[in-house]
């Protein structure tokens, strides 16, 4: 197996003051990570190509957005049966349709996950706003 096939690029580092940029590469099994100069990365033909690698900030932002979207979906899915039962209760005098403890626990866990994802998004937005993150 080609030595280059054993490693892949994870993200790129844009260095200041005209210094050569780096790529962070890792073993394909997700093991060791190390920086590699852009010229060496290109010369060895690592994948993905250097130009399509995201920066670490971009990767974190994408992951945060995905987690927020997943958490929102999980919250909506957990909320639907509880909301349905609450609507049934409101429309009838019979209270036999109360949400189960499991449904309420699932809804609570989904709410906490969504709140954590939102805090992470707010943190990133603040870092961008105040110039900590570019």
Report the distance separating Cα 48 and Cα 37, nearest Å.
15
Read off the pLDDT of residues 50-96 as tens digits, 9 standing for 90 and up. Answer: 999 999 889 988 888 888 888 888 888 888 888 777 777 667 655 55
Would you state the pLDDT for residue 124? 84
Tokens of 56: 């670490």
Q: pLDDT-derived band of residue 134, with 50, 70 and 90 as boundaries?
A: low
- pTM of the entire structure? 0.61
Would you state the pLDDT for residue 2? 62
Spatial contact of 97 and 88, defined as CB atoms under 8 Å apart? yes
Report the distance separating Cα 74 and Cα 66, nearest Å.
12
Read off the pLDDT of residues 8-60 as tens digits, 9 standing for 90 and up. Answer: 999 999 998 889 999 999 998 877 999 999 999 999 999 999 999 999 889 98
Would you state the pLDDT for residue 34? 93
Nearest to 114 by CA among 77, 73, 81, 80: 73
Strand, helix or coil at 34?
strand
Would you state the pLDDT for residue 53? 95
Would you state the pLDDT for residue 90? 66
């Amino acid at each position: 197996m080609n030595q280059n096939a054993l490693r892949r690029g994870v993200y790129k580092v844009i260095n200041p003051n005209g210094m050569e940029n780096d790529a962070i590469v890792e073993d394909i099994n997700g093991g060791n990570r190390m920086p590699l100069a852009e010229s060496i990365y290109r010369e060895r033909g690592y994948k993905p190509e250097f130009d399509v690698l995201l920066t670490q900030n971009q990767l974190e932002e994408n992951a945060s957005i995905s987690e927020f979207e997943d958490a929102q979906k999980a919250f909506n899915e957990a909320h639907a049966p509880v909301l349905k039962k609450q609507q049934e209760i409101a429309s009838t005098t019979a209270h036999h349709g109360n949400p189960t403890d499991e449904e309420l626990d699932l809804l609570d866990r989904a709410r906490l996950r969504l709140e954590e994802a939102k805090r992470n998004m707010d943190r990133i937005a603040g870092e961008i706003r105040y110039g900590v993150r570019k």
